Structure 1
Amino acid sequence: MYNESEALPPLEALPQIPIVTSVACSFILAVIYVGSLYVWDTKYNRDHPTTIKRRFASVTVVMLFAPFFVYFYSSPELLQREPFPKLLGFRLPGLWQATVIPYLLTALLYLGPIFVNMQNESFRSYFDLDYWRGSFSNIIWIRNHVMAPLSEEFVFRACMMPLILQSFTPLTAVFITPLFFGVAHLHHIAERLSMGIELSTSLLIGLFQFTYTTLFGFYSAYLFARTGHVIAPLLAHALCNYMGLPDVQDLWQQDQWKRVVAIILYLVGFAGWIYLLPIATEPSLYQNRLYWNV
């Protein structure tokens, strides 16, 4: 029987797969994921319920198909040594830690915005059951906070990272896979053009979106490699989608003392996140000896 506590040789000691294989598989997965969003011939925009439901079906098929890339292109020695679900980030050891610690770490990054939100009446709605019932009956909310994090983290982290990690060091892999994730979001440029938005504006928004999605991708890939759990980046992704980018305008509408406190909390949250990132993601906390050996 497989015993997680047994000493395991590092991943680097195993025969690795060629770089061209892991990169090509990751590129194909990214193309398939984005392409699946456009296989439907529809006259509706991306926020129409019909479009969203069809895209749900598309990405679900991609999620079912993506693990085969990991299974067929991974090192045979690795597949013999490790249970396949573990390669995808599905395992019991360290699960509760991977569920709680990275989520709290991500919340720390939003310490300032959370304080600002607490000053608004809307913050009370978070404790209202009717608010959550309405959210889970809103298909756009489900797309942004459930399906998008679930499908993107499964394809771009659980299925890409195991392949890239077999060709590169963990730290290098963390900086490679987010590029596929960032590029995959550039398709929104075409959607904006179809909505009549000017090319220059669409490109500028697309570049901005590529930047912050790639930066988040670094963080998400880091969480996967360090914890060995896909739940860690998935929950962090859902929280980031929920919080969104900091609303600077809302910040400056606060009273002076609240604004000062908020700015301090912005800085403290960011500094605390940087300081705690390597500590809170220490692989030993999650009994992870597979993906992070540096």
Structure 2
Amino acid sequence: MLDWFERNLPFQRNFDFQVDVIKEITSLVGLRNFIVAPITEEFIFRACIVSTLYLGGFSTLAIILISPLYFGIAHVHHGWEIYHTYGETSYALKQALFTMGFQFLYTSLFGWYATYSFMRTGLLLPVILQHAFCNVMGFPDMSNVKRHPGWARIVIWTSLVLGAVGFTWTWFSLLNPKLFGGSLYW
């Protein structure tokens, strides 16, 4: 919704398909974030680790709660980059620790969601697509909301809440294993 107000969506004034899509996806960083990382990370952190824990006799709940922690830990190396980028000072250390903690939290949350989705469906491709979509969207930056008039802020926050409620409400029914021919894990 925020991008709509800022005219950043397709067919709006600030959107350029060549720059916003083609150059973004075909850059080395884009290839890593939108293609290579979703495929390799989901293969490792969902297909391999979930299968190993499952064959090791872990309960479904334990697999859903434990395996995403590996995914979260795998992303804390970004803190090292930040520490060096900010000059290896005490401020840099604080920034790095905050970033590592925050990234660990949201990558673990996504990992729980992805693991649950993988275990319910038994399919890897949808989880790869979910991961790619999340990387395309990025973590929501709500800092620009305050630049908009009051009615727009209400629309933005309301759409965010309704989106979260709608997602939660449909999530369980859309991931019913019966819709996918059953699942080894469920």
Query: What's the TM-score bracket when you normalise by the shorter of the two chains?
Result: 0.7 to 0.9
Describe how 1:270-289 pairs up with structure 2 within 5 A. 270-289=164-183
Residue correspondences, number: 178
Could you tell me which of 62, 65, 73 is aligned with 1:172?
Answer: 62
The CA distance in 2 between the partners of 1:144 and 1:249, in whole Å, is 23
Q: TM-score, normalised by structure 1?
A: 0.57
Query: Equivalent of 1:187, from 57, 64, 77?
Result: 77
The corresponding residue for 2:31 is 142
**Deviations along 1:206-233, whole A, 9 cap, x unmatched?**
1111111111100010110001111121
| Mapped partners of 1:133, 1:230: distance in 2 | 26
Gaps of 5+ in 1: 1-114
Deviation of 1:129 after TM superposition, in Å, equals: 4.6
Distance 1:272 1:178 in 2: 24
CA deviation after TM superposition for structure 1 residue 252, in Å:
2.0
Q: Match for residue 130 of structure 1?
A: 18
Instruction: Give 3-state SS (helix, strand or coil) of 1:124's partner.
Output: coil
Choose from 111, 124, 142 the match for 1:230: 124
C-alpha distance in 1 between matches for 2:177 and 2:26 = 38
| Residue 135 of structure 1, CA deviation | 2.4
Give the structure 2 partner of residue 259 of structure 1. 153
State the Cα deviation string for residues 75-104 of structure 1 (Å, max 9, x = none).
xxxxxxxxxxxxxxxxxxxxxxxxxxxxxx
The CA RMSD over aligned residues, in Å, is 1.8
- Displacement of 1:194: 2.8
What is residue 8 of structure 1 aligned with on the other side?
Answer: none
Using CA pairs below 8 Å that are at least 6 residues apart, which structure has the higher relative contact order? 1
Kindly name which structure, 1 or 2, has the bigger radius of gyration based on alpha carbons: 1
Deviations 1:250-280 (A, max 9, x none): 2222222221111111111111111111111
Which residue pairs with 2:47 in the alignment?
Answer: 158
Counterpart of 1:185 in 2: which secondary structure? coil
1:69-80 alignment to 2 at 5 Å? none
Give per-residue Cα distances to partners, 1:21-68, cap 9 Å, x unaligned: xxxxxxxxxxxxxxxxxxxxxxxxxxxxxxxxxxxxxxxxxxxxxxxx
* Cα separation, 2, equivalents of 1:164 and 1:291: 11
Which shows bigger deviation, 237-246 or 213-222?
A: 237-246
Partner of 1:119: 5
Residue identity matched to 1:282: N
- Matched-pair identity in %: 34
Deviation at 1:168? Answer: 1.3
Q: Partners of 1:266 and 1:260 in 2: how far apart? A: 10
- Cα deviation, 1:97-152, whole Å, max 9, x if unaligned, reads xxxxxxxxxxxxxxxxxx21122232136985524332233111221111111111
Residue 218 (structure 1) aligned to one of 104, 109, 112 = 112
The whole-number CA distance in structure 1 between the counterparts of 2:174 and 2:32 is: 29
More displaced stretch, 188-197 vs 147-156: 188-197
- Measure the CA separation in 2 of the matches of 1:186 and 1:289: 31
Query: Equivalents in 1 of 2:38, 2:136: separation in Å?
Result: 11
Structure 1 runs of 4+ with >3 Å offset = 125-129
Tell me the distance in 1 between the aligned counterparts of 2:79 and 2:155.
37
